[in-house]
Structure 1
């Protein structure tokens, strides 16, 4: 068994164990492979190991990989900061965008997603623990954003994405509480199903708090 396949199996086993401890079904937690700075060859190898969802932070790098791996059925996620002047390629080429934190960004993505494409899956990024160095809207802004963005065409508003400071497990619990509280503002509450939180070092705590999608890079691909 090659190293990448073994690494993926190890992460899946960790997710399984975390779900057992949390009395959850492991099928309710999706593994998102954070592949930024790693080569297309490594992504192809991880794909051959069974991984289908990959996340990129840098737009130009992601577009190059999309072109190189166009023959593969990859679900592409963008998890970096969304710049207002770069929404078109996100709207046109990705399946998911996780870093939405302003209404104007969602409006541009909605306008630039074609009616012929499936709706673009959106997560709102929340600065859940008030880190000065982190992007994201404030928790008290989320309910109104959910109400407004859930009305836009060509988008499917799925949930929240958070990146707490290391060791701040309470932030995961706060995110879950916020996730549950703002569902009532959603025009299509059945779409509100994704809590994107937890990475290589804290996925156990995130899963215990209710994460439905863990974004894992180092544990899959190794250090950069």
Structure 2
């Protein structure tokens, strides 16, 4: 044993009991507790978790309803309320299985990944820049796909799926919260004015987007909603 090691051991042995206890508790805390998230990441992680869990649940219900339709073509889905609010009508369209299998299966996998990312962040995980860029691209593609399904349901099929609308609702804050996080942290380079705008106005952007999406639904199905 060298002199340095002997000194460390001696200091530990001769330290007061209270100081030793505090040192041991601090060591255990450092081992068990994840490092604190920066405020922007902490708020973002909770936003990501809530929105992804909500969208995942809606996707799971859609998958279950679609399985019932496979077993019984005459099955009436839980959200078949009238000719306009009819998940069954939407599910039987070709747009509902764009890649040869039910679209909600994509949501089951995709939103589960986002839930895992959010939980990992809350547990103290850190990810590299390329990871966040890939997530942003993935959420953009998801939003574009949902935009196609929105247009198809509202303006082509002429029927609404309640669970699909829940996914639309959660997808918007999920995408824009991720964009805000990536701009504020410098993951996605942007002019200072753009960063400040998203830092202060993302909530308003999401609110306006929600109004546009569901306002379009209300206008298109005005007679159905108001009789």
> Which TM class, normalised by the smaller chain length?
under 0.3
- Relative to its length, the structure with more strand (as a share) is 1
- Relative to its length, the structure with more helix (as a share) is 2
**TM-score normalised by the chain length of structure 2:** 0.24
